[in-house]
Each structure stands twice: as C-alpha cells, then as structure tokens.
Amino acid sequence: MSALPSPNDAPFAPVDLALYAAAVFIFGSGWLPMKMQLGTIAPEVSAVWRFLVAAPVMFAIVAATRGRLAFPLKDHALFAFLGITLFSMNFMFFYHAAYYLPSGLMSVIFSLTAVFIPLLSVVVLKLPLSPRVLLGTAAGVAGTALIFVPTVADDRGGEMGLGLALALGGTTCFALGSLVSGFAARRQVPVNSLTAWGLTYGLVVVLGISLATGARFELEWSTRYLGSLAYLIVMPTLLGFAIYLELIRRIGASRAGYGTVLFPLVALAISTAFESFHWTLAAALGIALVLAGNLLVLTPARRPA
C-alpha cells in the first residue's frame, strides 16, 4: 500500500464545519439508542434489521442520483474490508459492550479512534511516529486507566473489563476502516456507492454471525425497540456514515477522526440525563486526559516561521 497524503492543515471551509458539527451530533447521540436495542433481540439480529433496511435505501439513492453501481473486483475487495471493519464488526463489538458499559463511557473509548488512526498508520503505512502521537497516546492510555481501573478492580465478575475489551475492539475496527476508506477516496469511489456496498458486505457478515450463533430472527414490537432501531438506521447508519466518509474525502482520515473527540461530550450529557451516569473525580480526570490526548494528536504542530 502506498501512503495516504498528509492531512490538509488548512482551516476548515464552512461546508466542512457544517458536516463536522452534524457528524458530532449524530454519532454522539447514537450511543443511548444502541443500548436501548438490548433486550429480547440478539444484537447481531438487530444489526441485520438495521442493514437490511439501510443497504437497499442506499442503493436506491445511488440509482436515483444516477450514481455508479458497477465496480471492478479490486474495489469490491476494498468494499468487503470496509464491510467487515466499518460496517459490521465495529457494530458487533459495541453492541455487546453495551451490556456492560454506560453509553457515555463507550463513547469515551470510541474517541480513542483519534489516537488509533495515527498509530495504525505507523503499522499499516509505515509512517513515522511523531512525539506528539506518543505523548497523546500516553495521555489516552492514562485517562482510560483512571476511568476503568478502579471499577475493574472491584469488578469480581469481570464484566466491566470485558466491556472495555469489546469497546477497544470496536474502536480498532472503526479506525482501520477509516484509514482504509482513504484509499477509496483516492480511487474516487463515490461516497454513496461506497456506503451502499459497504453496508451490503456488512449485512452479509452480521447475517453470517446470526446464523452461526443460532440467533432467532424476530422483532420486538415495542416503541422503545422500534424507535431506537429507526433512529439508528436513519441517523448514524445512513446519514452519519455518508457525512463521515465525505469528511474523510474532504479533510483526511486523521482530521475527520478529530470529531470522535467531541462525541463523548454529547454522549456523556445524554448518559447523565437518561442513565444516571455517576461522575467521580477519577472518571472526570480520566475523560479529560483522553480528550486532551486526542487533541494533542490531531492538532497540527506549528511550523517554524
């Protein structure tokens, strides 16, 4: 793989800022509806219903706008990779993490995407690791430890630790997908087409998981379940990913990943209001460290005059 171009350090255009604000609100507000999906329906089946609606809608949008639907096999390999990372396993990890973690804390772990993308760039693209990334990573790890270590130490059943591990797995998948989607941008794959095919391959993955685990394909006919499912389909799945992938195209994966720093501010406010999230001094300091580490990684270094 050839290296992606360096992120553009120019100020955001008004359109970039509007897309950015929309992405922060959409993804920041999606964590509690995800948690509301848990109950009688297996998480992988909820993901099947989510993609079963979203994928055909995206193909209809592509067709209606006379977008491109046919792609060479090389592009389908890229779509399949994104289907595995960005459009399926990312969801699976976080759906299962939601059994053990408040929605606000899941968003804090997810915000480490901003750190994971540069670190994965070192591994995948062989890019040099800057001191800023090292320091930001240290701050992120220290903040995560402050949030979770006291609780995990008292968690004799290991549920909090399992939730943390699952959330980190989901964050890694999302960061990998974000990084690789930059290659799709370089190949000038239209965002709607990329989303449609990515959702389709993601549907294949979650359908396979559902069949392999023997999950029952059923719906919960409650306002809570159907309302949260509708919100997740329309907002994060359709609108959110279209905006996020367009941001990657316009400003690069690392700068688009900066938005994940702000997701917890929305998610924690919602979690505090609706889940009675309990703030402690250690948790507050940890969250501040995670956000500071992400900001340090993503804020461009000043160039000498």
Q: Mean pLDDT for the chain?
A: 85
For residue 4, tell me if it sits in a domain: no
With a pLDDT cut of 90, the percent of the chain lying above it is 43
Of 135, 117, 137, which Cα lies nearest the Cα of 252? 117
For residue 46, tell me if it sits in a domain: yes
- Does residue 214 or residue 160 have the better pLDDT? 214
pTM equals: 0.83
245-292 pLDDT, tens digit per residue, is 888 888 777 677 667 777 887 888 898 888 877 788 888 898 888 888
For residue 153, tell me if it sits in a domain: yes
Tokens of 9: 């350090």
For residue 305, tell me if it sits in a domain: no
Q: What is the pLDDT of residue 283?
A: 81
Full domain range(s) for residue 86: 18-298
For residue 55, tell me if it sits in a domain: yes
Of 231, 211, 233, 189, which Cα lies nearest the Cα of 79? 189
For residue 8, tell me if it sits in a domain: no
Q: Give the total number of structural domains in the chain.
A: 1
Widest Cα–Cα separation across the chain: 63
Whether the predicted pLDDT of 2 surpasses 60: no
110-133 pLDDT, tens digit per residue, is 888 877 887 887 777 777 777 877
Q: What is the pLDDT of residue 5?
A: 40
| Helix, strand, or coil (residue 30) | coil
- Band the pLDDT of 3: cuts 50, 70, 90: very low
Q: What is the pLDDT of residue 258?
A: 67
For residue 2, tell me if it sits in a domain: no
Q: Residue type at 51? A: F
58-100 pLDDT, tens digit per residue, is 999 999 999 999 999 999 999 999 999 999 999 999 999 999 9
Running DSSP on this structure, what letter comes out for residue 303?
P
Whether the predicted pLDDT of 304 surpasses 60: no
For residue 7, tell me if it sits in a domain: no
225-255 pLDDT, tens digit per residue, is 999 999 999 999 889 888 988 888 887 776 7
